[in-house]
Structure 1
Amino acid sequence: MTEETHDVRLHVNGATYDVSVPPRRLLSDALRHDCGLTGTHVGCEHGVCGACTVLVDGRPTRSCLMFAVSAQDTEITTVEGLTNPDGSLGPVQQAFLECHGLQCGFCTPGFLTTITAGLAENPSPTRDEAREMIAGNLCRCTGYQNIVKAVERAAELGSAT
């Protein structure tokens, strides 16, 4: 017996992907396996760690909690879509590099997308607001100090453009 599939059109990082997925295929799995975008990491598969965070219509979304069929015709941005149009690092990515905001890198894609959305909403956060912005993402390596510095630096870089 073959498993039922649904045709879904995903708009990811400015490209369109027409995929055929089982009804319970998670968005994280569709991005990684059907679209070939492996930057979205899956950590806990329960929506707790934030490693799988992508932007869906500009809002941070745990892709391990969303079915791919639910993402039909939404605008999805993954970590791969955060670069500048010329392919250089975007401001949040550049800030992470400059401020040593990553160590093992596993949680980094989720932080980058979360911070991108947070800075779109609040382009000049205070240190407390920066901490609040990243509160839903877990990192086992950094201790968060450099990530908070990266939020502040990304805000500076974003205001310079």
Structure 2
Amino acid sequence: MELITNNLAEALMILGVLALIVEAAVLGMSTIILLLLGLSLLATGVMMNFSLLESSLTTALWSNTLITAALAALLWKPLKRMQEQRDNAQVHSDFAELTFTLTEDVNDQGLAHYAYSGISWKLKSEQPLSAGTLVKVVKKEVGVMWVAACD
């Protein structure tokens, strides 16, 4: 404990950097609290290092409390908005280029199935397709392949 109190500024900066690393690398910026805590620990450590704050545990506690609260008040809405942004773009992969011949009639109800990669996929199509038609996968959803006739 004496090692930490003698080097409190450095210990706070190390803890702040570790909290930021955990937030960014492990949690993927999913919890705002660790980000705010990491920033306040880092700021308190820097201020203690430059003798702007007294190097004591009580000062560190109050400084981190106030800085975390201030950062939360300032950054909560922008960070929350950043977390809520979603990318709805379709991912294109080799899987989407899969072509095969139908063994059953396919429509938009998903009654036909196709075994691929050890999974029985439901097949759906916007246009009714008959068995024996060469099709390609145009869209995929959980457990469902949407297919269209090849040109």
Same-fold call, TM > 0.5?
A: no
Instruction: Give 1 or 2: higher helix fraction.
Output: 2
- TM-score, normalized by length of structure 1? 0.20
Q: Look at both structures and tell me which one has the larger radius of gyration over its CA atoms.
A: 2
TM-score by length of 2: 0.21
* Structure with greater contact order relative to length (CA < 8 Å, sep ≥ 6): 1
